[in-house]
Amino acid sequence: MERTLAILKPDCVGAKKAGKVLARIEEAGFRVVAMKMVRLNAETAGQFYAVHKERPFYGELVEFMASDRCIPVVLEKENAVADFRTLIGATDPAEADEGTIRKEFATSKAFNIVHGSDSPENAKIEINFFFSEKELVETA
């Protein structure tokens, strides 16, 4: 069983779409292993997105992620990383396939509603960023 990290971003939480997005995730066969609401500050958001530090959008991304609450969620499923990336769709909702979360809920490339780990290796790192081992609930 594989795990991945999703983050319901500030645009998702602020627009009161978290319940609808979580329902879509569960309907797609993912199990929630851990979930909590947090408010990142600029330093913490910067640490999480440090991999993008040299990219032109880094400052805006950090500012956005620190702008309001977000909900990190650990998901479990066979092929969780790839299946979740397919479920959420392309970063730019205008390019996302019909039926994906970003196509339905996101408003722009910058406000794309949800983060998803891009590899099983990064999923482990990202999960550990937000959750301790004791917060991960084993599923049956």
CA distances from 50 to 7, 22, 54, 66 (A): 16, 26, 9, 14
Whether 115 is a known active-site residue: answer yes
Given 6, 45, 115, 116, which residue is catalytic? 115
Q: How far is CA 57 from the centre of its chain?
A: 17
DSSP, collapsed to helix, strand or coil, labels residue 114 as strand
Task: Count CB-CB contacts under 10 A for residue 134.
Answer: 7
Kindly give, in sequence order, each residue whose CB lies less than 8 Å from that of residue 8, ignoring residues fewer than 6 positions away.
17, 18, 21, 22, 70, 71, 73, 113, 114
Catalytic residues, by residue number, are 115
